[in-house]
Amino acid sequence: MRVRLEVPCSVVLGDRRVRATIGNLSQEGALIRTQERLSLIQRVRIAIEDGPEIAAKVRWRRDDDYGVSFEDSFQFAELAALAFDLQRKAVRAGP
């Protein structure tokens, strides 16, 4: 199951943070969008404002879209809670 989102985040690359957006989220991975060029199999951390930092690895790329797999997958209840929290924050932030 994938949850569609449009949530800002940061991709942590060592000591640098670059802007990105989470486009969708599943128990095992996510689609992120960033203008930063990432390499296949590169390890990254996805930082969500007021939320967890998630360790992941880049699995594919197409233009500015990247598919990442999480190092530790989420249980379904954890994914549901995270998606709910992210969507609630996005609604509060507004357009």
DSSP string of 16-53? EEEEEEEEEE-SSEEEEE-SS---TT-EEEEE-TTS-E
Structure tokens at 84: 């709910």
Give the global pTM: 0.83
Predicted confidence (pLDDT) per residue in 25-56, tens digit:
888 999 999 999 999 999 999 998 777 789 99
Least reliable range by pLDDT among 9-18, 73-82, 85-94: 85-94
Residue of 89, 87, 84 whose CA lies nearest to 5: 87
Percent of the chain with pLDDT over 90: 55
pLDDT value of position 93 = 59
Percent of the chain with pLDDT over 70: 92
Q: How many CB atoms lie within 10 A of CB 93?
A: 10
Query: Do 66 and 38 touch, CB atoms closer than 8 A?
Result: yes
How far apart are alpha carbons 66 and 77 in whole angstroms? 25
How far apart are alpha carbons 60 and 42 in whole angstroms? 10
pLDDT value of position 55 = 94
